[in-house]
Copies of this chain bind each other. A is one copy, B any other.
Amino acid sequence: MKKLINFILLFVSISILVNGQRKVVHLPDLPGYVTLKCDLHLHTVFSDGNVWPTIRVDEALRDGLDAIAITDHLDYFTHTDYIKTDHNAGWKVTELYAKERNIILVQGTEIGRDMPPGHVNALFIHDATSLVKDSVWDAFEAAIQQGAFLMWNHPGWKHQQPDGIPRLYDIHLKMIEKGWLHGIEFLNFIDYYPLVLEMCKEHNLAVMGSSDMHGLISETYKIPEYTNRPMTLVFAKERSHDALREALFAGRTLVWFHEMIAGRVEYAKPFFYGCISVSKIYYENDKKKFFEVTNHSDIPFSLINGKRTPKSVVLEANSVTRIAVSKDVVFPITYEVSNVLIGENEYLKIELE
């Protein structure tokens, strides 16, 4: 019977140093799959970036990513006065560092040419040097021989495509025909290309999103609570390098950046329903009945519906939204989710039951 402590003395988390832990990002898995958060387009001092490759792993931990690829250019180096050209350096320097930190590291490189075909990432290769070829077609072939996943980067990059409209040129169509193109960047850095969603639907390709970061993630994007960096969400059979590879070739992806989700409806729909849960009517009065929608994820959703009260609902991330509807409303209520893009001009349609 003796003690009073007037003031809280236990400050577990008081530290002035960042701790190197991996953030838990609140996203649902899909039935049969785990959701891997990936940024598969990153640069370092070994092409025209400004950071040592291990920094990309540190950033991945901080941002809660599961997998990254370092994809330095094969043909563009800004630090040659000081840095030896070694197309596999990013991989070699980082391999063990990533392993100890449980980050899946994908070996890759970026094959750069004028448009067409523009820039193409080769992922899951084992030797970038053998992709240095005069003919881009030879480069692709060398990549394919290593089992590469080929991703067409920033297809509407204004530097190469002044009107900004991505077009599938003959060479791209020929790649698709041979099974040599597996994904296209819908989102690169802060630009996105709705047409890519149509291309991927038509040709059964993976919809991809990447930061294409050269500097620092934290010094490039403003990062408040929901300003998440660009990433590809990959629905893999397990959290492993090989399962990631299988899922990418199968095209099981969505893109997430900031407050936007984009991809094919077959993944966007169960993903959305995985993020939310709808309660029963918990209260009613003379005029209205009340229910709740819980958004368990880190992604806010904006529901729009011209017909019924309420016309629009924002389901903020990690929040429970109260919805009051007229007593005569018949369920389900249908909405479009205005920040989930499933086609060039098409938004995900959902029902609240």
Which residues of chain B have C-beta atoms less than 8 A from A318's C-beta?
Answer: 23-24, 26
B contact residues around A192 at 8 Å (CB):
5, 8
Copies in the complex: 4
**Stretch of A93-101, A243-251, A265-273 lying at the B interface:** A93-101
Given contacts A22-B320, A322-B20, contact A12 B194 (CB under 8 A): no
Closest residue of chain B to A298, judged by CB? B318
- Majority SS at the chain A contact face: loop
Cα distance A16–B191 in the bound complex, in angstroms: 12
**Residues of the B chain whose Cβ atoms lie less than 8 Å from the Cβ of A99:** 283
CB of A17 within 8 A of CB of B190, answer yes
In the assembled complex, A126 has its CB within 8 A of some CB on chain B: no
Interface residues on A, range: 35 or more
- With contacts A82-B83, A93-B82, A220-B17 taken as known, whether A8 is within 8 angstroms of B260 at the C-beta atoms is yes
- 9-residue interface stretch from A28-36, A43-51, A105-113, A173-181: A43-51
Interface pair A8/B16, CB less than 8 Å apart: yes
Which of A46, A190, A295 neighbours the largest number of chain B CB atoms within 10 Å of its CB?
A: A190
Are A164 and B6 touching (Cβ within 8 A)? yes
For A322, what are the chain B residues with a Cβ–Cβ distance below 8 Å? 20-22, 100-102
Residues of B within 8 A of A26 (CB): 26, 318
Q: A50 touches which one: B51, B168, B283, B321 (CB < 8 A)?
A: B51
Once bound together, how far apart are the Cα atoms of A158 and B167, in whole Å? 48
Q: Is A166 an interface residue (CB 8 A)?
A: yes
Distance (whole angstroms) from the CB of A221 to the closest CB of chain B: 6
Choose one: B2, B89, B301, B321; the contact of A12 (CB below 8 Å): B301
The docked-state distance in angstroms from the alpha carbon of A344 to that of B5 is 11
A67 shortest CB reach to chain B, Å = 14
CB pair A102–B290 under 8 Å, yes or no, is yes
Q: With an 8 A cutoff between CB atoms, is A183 at the interface?
A: no
Query: Interface with B: A54-62, A115-123, A127-135, A145-153, which one?
Result: A54-62
List the B residue with the shortest CB-CB distance to A295: B24
Nearest neighbor of A85 in chain B, beta-carbon distance? B82
A308 at the interface (CB under 8 A from B): no
A89 touches B100 (CB 8 A): no
A316 with B19, Cβ < 8 A, contacts A50-B51, A218-B216 known: yes
Whether A319 lies near B21 (C-beta < 8 A) is yes
B58 touches A215 (CB 8 A): yes
CB of A37 within 8 Å of the partner chain: no
Beyond A6-B191, A24-B318, A55-B216, 20 additional contacts (C-beta under 8 Å) are: A6-B164, A7-B190, A8-B257, A8-B258, A8-B260, A10-B339, A11-B258, A18-B221, A20-B322, A21-B316, A22-B319, A45-B45, A46-B82, A55-B219, A58-B215, A58-B216, A99-B283, A100-B322, A100-B324, A218-B219
Interchain Cβ contacts under 8 Å between A and B, 9 examples: A3-B194, A4-B158, A7-B190, A19-B314, A21-B322, A22-B322, A24-B296, A81-B84, A218-B218
